[in-house]
């Protein structure tokens, strides 16, 4: 009976062990399948993030030069003060002054018949009872007199355009023209800028001619008082293209307002979505440097094309160069500054990355800062609780400093090379100060251990000194006593 029970118990135990083995094998198979599926899902998710980040960054880098152009266009089209600040300095350019002087002189001489007025004066003198020889002499003097008056007009106009008063007149004309142009582009029916029957859109130059007239009268050129109000314009477009011009204006204003923010958003989201953010920042900074560098180089190529396309009969080469340079100067400077900013971002991101060279450089820097901190601690100089907090939050504080530096560059207007270089220097100095101020626990332990070793060494030296003194003070015995 007992043997039967033992046999049944053994069979039951064997069955339970078999079931346990089967369940264990099933669990192992399930775990293995899940382990195989998890890396595949992780790899798929990682590839998806990489693709999305790459698309966002590529679009942002491609749109960056367009954002620079859009921001400049919006400032010029919307802000009258900015428009005057951009083009106002042309009044002080010698080539532009010469061009304006020639045009103003031509307008004045068109409005006043100098030759006819001079001829009338000489005819009146001839009608007087004078000898025939004198009449012949008057005929010889009539031509030089006409030329002399024309030269006088040219001299007065040249002095005017070279004076400070002309700068004020030029800026006033620019302000009036820009205000009227914007009103016309916005569809204002009361805009002073009109579209004539020939389909031309023109900017009035009446203020400049009026000032020339006043200056000539003040200079003693009496017949200048007869110069009428001149309705002379500079043609800028055709009225049949007005709808297109207004559409371009609306697009430029909209793009100039939102496109820079869109570009910044694309770049930030792309970097955040990337798996390896330091490496992504390196490529993003390099991409920005290349795209904006190409934009800056494109201005040089466009300059050659522009100068070749301007007819000398329309504008002298020197004046055309001055106008083009004044127009693109700020855009080119912004492109160069942002390209330099891209280089700085790439270098800083590489330094923070995982390459062996960057890691070695960081180790050297950390060792140097650590030596300075420990030297200060050994002399009682400590940042205490603030330093310990700063050490715990070191990564967060560094990121905050870098983000603030980037914001200063991106949100300051205008963006210049000096601003970028100055911001980079300030950021590096702040990071160095933070590295000096933080107080790692290992530094405190190292200084404490070193201090303890020094104290033990001093204690041993004092103990050795006491033993030597005791030996010297011991009484003389034995043979020495005798």
Read off the pLDDT of residues 288-345 as tens digits, 9 standing for 90 and up: 999 999 999 999 898 888 888 777 776 778 877 887 888 788 889 999 999 999 999 9
Running DSSP on this structure, what letter comes out for residue 234? Answer: E
Cβ contact 169:208 at 8 Å: yes
Beta strands in 44-141 (DSSP E): none
Q: Please, which residues bridge with residue 200 across strands?
A: 238
- Report the pLDDT value the prediction gives residue 480, as an integer from 0 to 100: 46
- Report the pLDDT value the prediction gives residue 236, as an integer from 0 to 100: 45
The ranges assigned to domains in the chain are: 78-249
Cβ contact 75:82 at 8 Å: yes
- Report the pLDDT value the prediction gives residue 295, as an integer from 0 to 100: 92
In terms of C-beta density within 10 A (0-12 exposed, 13-18 middle, 19 or more buried), how is residue 380 classed? Answer: exposed
d(CA 263, CA 276): 21
Which has the closest alpha carbon to 107: 236, 231, 237, 235? 231
Q: Please, which residues bridge with residue 450 across strands?
A: none
Core vs surface per residue 412-434: b (16+ CB within 10 A) or e: eeebbeebbeebbeebeebbeeb
d(CA 175, CA 478): 118
Whole-prediction pTM: 0.70
The residues, ordered by sequence, that sit 6+ positions from 331 with a Cβ below 8 Å of its Cβ are 68, 69, 72, 295, 299
Element (H, E) at 196: none
Classify the C-alpha dihedral 63-343-265-245 as positive or negative. negative
DSSP result, 293-332: HHHHHHHHHHHHHHHHHS-TTTS-HHHHHHHHHHHHHHHH
Cβ contact 447:457 at 8 Å: no
- Report the pLDDT value the prediction gives residue 455, as an integer from 0 to 100: 64
- Report the pLDDT value the prediction gives residue 374, as an integer from 0 to 100: 86
d(CA 293, CA 3): 95
Q: Please, which residues bridge with residue 195 across strands?
A: 201
Please compute Rg for the chain using Cα positions. Answer: 43
Tokens of 299: 């201005």
Cβ contact 259:234 at 8 Å: no
- Report the pLDDT value the prediction gives residue 255, as an integer from 0 to 100: 77
Which has the closest alpha carbon to 374: 449, 447, 455? 447
- Report the pLDDT value the prediction gives residue 329, as an integer from 0 to 100: 87
Residues of the chain with pLDDT under 70: 1-14, 16, 19, 29-46, 113-143, 146, 181, 184-208, 221, 231-249, 252, 314, 448, 450-460, 462-482
């Amino acid at each position: 009976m007992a043997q039967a029970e033992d046999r049944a118990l053994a069979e039951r135990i064997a069955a339970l062990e078999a079931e346990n083995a089967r369940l264990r094998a099933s669990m192992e198979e399930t775990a293995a399948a899940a382990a195989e599926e998890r890396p595949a899902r992780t790899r798929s998710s990682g590839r998806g993030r990489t693709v999305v980040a790459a698309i966002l960054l590529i679009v942002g880098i491609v749109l960056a030069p367009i954002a620079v152009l859009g921001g400049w266009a919006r400032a010029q089209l919307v802000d009258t003060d900015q428009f005057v600040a951009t083009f106002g300095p042309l009044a002080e350019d010698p080539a532009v002054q010469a061009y304006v002087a020639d045009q103003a002189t031509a307008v004045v001489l068109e409005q006043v018949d100098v030759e006819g007025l001079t001829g009338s004066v000489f005819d009146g003198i001839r009608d007087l009872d004078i000898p025939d020889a004198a009449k012949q002499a008057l005929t010889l003097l009539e031509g030089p007199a006409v030329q002399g008056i024309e030269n006088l007009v040219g001299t007065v106009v040249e002095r005017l355009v070279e004076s400070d008063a002309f700068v004020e007149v030029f800026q006033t004309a620019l302000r009036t023209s820009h205000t009227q142009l914007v009103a016309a582009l916005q569809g204002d029916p009361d805009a002073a800028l009109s579209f004539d029957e020939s389909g031309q859109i023109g900017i009035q130059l009446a203020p400049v001619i009026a000032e020339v007239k006043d200056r000539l009268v003040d200079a003693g050129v009496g017949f200048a008082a007869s110069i009428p109000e001149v309705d002379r314009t500079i043609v800028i477009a055709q009225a049949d293209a007005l709808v297109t011009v207004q559409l371009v204006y609306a697009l430029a204003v909209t793009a100039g307002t939102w496109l820079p923010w869109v570009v910044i958003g694309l770049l930030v989201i792309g970097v955040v979505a990337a798996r390896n953010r330091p490496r992504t920042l390196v490529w993003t900074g390099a991409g920005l440097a290349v795209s904006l560098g190409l934009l800056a180089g494109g201005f040089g190529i466009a300059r050659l094309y522009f100068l070749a396309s301007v007819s000398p009969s329309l504008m002298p080469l020197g004046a055309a160069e001055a106008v083009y340079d004044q127009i693109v100067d700020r855009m080119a400077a912004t492109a160069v500054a942002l390209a330099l900013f891209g280089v700085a971002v790439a270098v800083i991101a590489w330094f923070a990355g995982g390459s062996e060279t960057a890691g070695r450089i960081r180790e050297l820097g950390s060792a140097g800062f650590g030596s300075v901190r420990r030297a200060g601690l050994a002399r009682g100089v400590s940042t205490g609780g603030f330093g310990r907090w700063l050490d715990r939050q070191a990564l967060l504080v560094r990121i905050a400093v870098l983000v603030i530096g980037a914001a200063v560059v991106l949100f300051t207007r205008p963006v210049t090379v000096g601003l970028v270089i100055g911001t980079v220097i300030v950021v590096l100095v702040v990071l160095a100060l933070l590295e000096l101020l933080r107080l790692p626990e290992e530094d405190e332990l190292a200084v404490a251990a070193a201090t303890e070793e020094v104290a033990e060494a001093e204690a041993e030296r004092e103990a050795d000194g006491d033993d030597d003194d005791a030996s010297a003070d011991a009484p003389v015995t034995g043979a020495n006593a005798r």
